[in-house]
Chains A and B, each alone.
Chain A
Amino acid sequence: MRRIISMLMENEPGALSRVIGLFSQRGYNIETLNVAPTDDPTLSRLTLTTAGDDLRIEQLTKQLNKLVDVVKLADLTEGAHVERELMLIKVRAVGAARDEVKRTTDIFRGQVVDVGPTIYTIQLTGPSDKLDAFVAAMPEVDILEVVRSGVAGISRGEKVLSL
């Protein structure tokens, strides 16, 4: 089962490598990863997606919690949550494809953020499966480059991950 694990960690050199290292050390996979400082400059928020059954994820979260740099951790998939991913995708936009790409972008509520005589760069946000669907919706289009931010997520309602 896919999980979104989000944590607050000390914004210090080496902290990220400890988290990432734990995954390879203990045989887990990271599917997406997203990390940036928070409003408190001493803290970083790291969100990652991985897969595993309950037992495996419980063991993983225990091991992550043991890392001295990890201050607080939550499995967002345990409750209602909002998840978003940003994608920038550069496609060949010539001839009939040029209109086709624009139409599909509008349907998905994406934006063309860069235009060239033969290319469009499109920005799209949403849950990961929406981004997958967008790529799948353009089978005839020549995709030149795909950049995805990895999932960022937050719990719905009053629940917060903070100190």
Chain B
Amino acid sequence: MELLSGGEMVARALEDEGVEYIFGYPGGAVLHIYDALFKDCKVPHILVRHEQAATHAADGYTRATGKPGVVLVTSGPGATNAITGIATAYMDSIPMVVLSGQVQSHLIGEDAFQETDMVGISRPIVKHSFMVRRTEDLPAIIKKAFHIAASGRPGPVVIDIPKDLTRPEEKLEYNYPTTVKMRSYSPAQRGHTGQIKKAARLLLAAKRPVIYAGGGVVQGDGSALLTQLARRLNYPVTNTLMGLGAFPGTDSQFLGMLGMHGFYEANMAMHHSDCILAVGARFDDRVTNTVDKFCPGAKIIHIDVDPASISKTIMADIPIVGPVQSVLQELLLQVEALQEKDAGLPDQSSLDSWWQQIDAWRAAHGLFHARRYEKSDMIMPQQVIESLYRATGGEAYVTSDVGQHQMFAAQYYRFDKPRRWINSGGLGTMGFGLPAAMGAKLAFPDADVACVTGEGSIQMNIQELSTCNQYNLGVKIVNLRNNYLGMVKQWQDMQYEGRYAMSTYEDSLPDFVKLTESYGHIGMEVGSLSELDAAMEEAFAIKDKLVFLDIFVDPREHVYPMHVAPNGAMKDMWLSKNERT
């Protein structure tokens, strides 16, 4: 029997859980834990420069690997700084365990120094949280936290630990549980067979089917099965912003992303479909446009591990609650069985004319066709992403911040594999990209990791350039520099007659090259199209250093297509500044 202090229990439990990295920042309430980490813990700790970055880095690590990220912060401001990152993970269903220090038990409620009610503040943005009351409960609580974070619909779990419970003087028996049993928590393990049978029949009877796959397919490791099903049926597939990579982006069956800035052919196919197979997607308002006008002729099969995601905004005709992997496996078997009985399923002539229609949409307004401007040496933002795609062979882990650059990256980098596209979809958190890239790079040190960003977003966590220096993280920052808060400006152009309220920086931007160099990295400025590819290749050839590419792009460019809102349907889109459907 081993006797450990609370601080040592935390360190040991993280080892026992197989944690690869702890992302954190020390402070008064967690000093006992840090001392235990220092003395004896095999799990390396990454010291960020701001707690928000710790959560995003853990999040980026998780999205790249599938393993829950771990964050360690102190009480008060340490905990509140982590909130944005926890909310980001919550919205995108990312498993994360956040350990926050708390003031000593006897001081709780007395407005003690650096006291914040972390469990209270984080309550609406966590899957669950624990306030530890007794040292001996620590191992079981940590085990439960990992279990809850990673199972069912994943999400962040907070463990708030009062300082006195971790003090080195009090040593207690340590046993890390091997299993978790909770009477009040049992996520679905498989879908309902009857429902899956019905779904298979409906799917095979469809004349204008679309498979609409979301982040749940990536998170639930269902990409291979989804691809198998789609290819077997030769059905068109569209991915959500969160689902990019769930189906290969270069596949001819792929319609591109759908939604507000989705591909024309994807949105048109959805609107005109008679059967939508939604997998691990949640009919977000950025997908559906006006709910009442959503896909009027479509029957909807909805597979999701979270029952509350089904029929929340759009009623499902066939709801199936279960993990995507097991449900897709069973659906494939049912489809195969039905096809064995009736080789005429699905009806090929209907499917052929559906594909002809889709190809016609693609030819008319597909993304990869016409340039919208006169030929010039000015770089279009889309060309930067295409250049990035070429320089990395389409194999990079691409993180992004939030704004126009995010949409250009989502549209133009064709992700063939899941977990390569890492962005804040639900919460839309500017400042996510750089720390998330750190997490991905730590997970895969030999892979290319690019952070596509803009001058607005990158400055929200620019301090992490220092962390990248400390741990020698050779991520590549691709800054689409247009000297505006681009997406805000786009909306102001479209809806506020070009009144740019607070969307410019009035020449106050730093010299990013010098700034990067001062942090010990390499900075490169790219101003013309003729230099672009060479600069991109040069940057990615430097494997062991961080390179900041400050790329000046045409500030006039908007992201298209764009849903017409309010009151538009999926099919209502702006295709350029003056063309709409």
Contacts and interface: CB of A to CB of B under 8 A. Distances in A.
Interface of A: 9-10, 13-14, 17-18, 21, 25, 55, 58-59, 62-63, 65-66, 68-71, 163
17 contacts: A14-B129, A17-B120, A17-B123, A18-B123, A21-B124, A55-B315, A58-B311, A62-B307, A62-B308, A65-B308, A66-B306, A66-B307, A68-B127, A68-B182, A68-B184, A68-B185, A70-B184
A68 B144 CA distance: 11
Given A58-B311, A59-B308, A62-B307, A14 B184 contact: no
Nearest to B313: A59
Given A13-B131, A55-B311, A63-B308, A71 B120 contact: no
Given A17-B120, A25-B124, A163 B183 contact: yes
Nearest to A25: B124
A66 B306 CA distance: 8
Contacts of B182: 68
Interface residues of B, number: 20
Contacts, number: 38
Given A13-B131, A66-B306, A21 B184 contact: no
A36 B260 CA distance: 47
Contacts of B307: 62, 65-66
Contacts of B183: 71, 163
Interface in B122-157: 123-124, 127-129, 131, 133, 148
B119 interface: yes
Given A14-B131, A66-B307, 17 more contacts: A9-B184, A10-B184, A13-B131, A17-B120, A17-B123, A21-B123, A21-B124, A59-B308, A59-B311, A62-B307, A62-B308, A63-B308, A66-B306, A68-B148, A68-B184, A69-B184, A71-B183
A18 B128 CA distance: 9
A58 B129 CA distance: 25
A68 B311 CA distance: 21
Contacts of B577: none
A145 B88 CA distance: 47
Contacts of B232: none
A69 B123 CA distance: 13
Contacts of B148: 68
A59 B182 CA distance: 23
Contacts of B185: 68
A120 B308 CA distance: 49
A27 to B, nearest CB: 12
Nearest to B306: A66
Contacts of B128: 68
Q: Which of B123, B124, B182, B308 has the most CB of A within 10 A?
A: B308
B232 to A, nearest CB: 32
Contact of B184 (A55, A59, A62, A71): A71
Interface in B456-499: none
Interface in B218-248: none
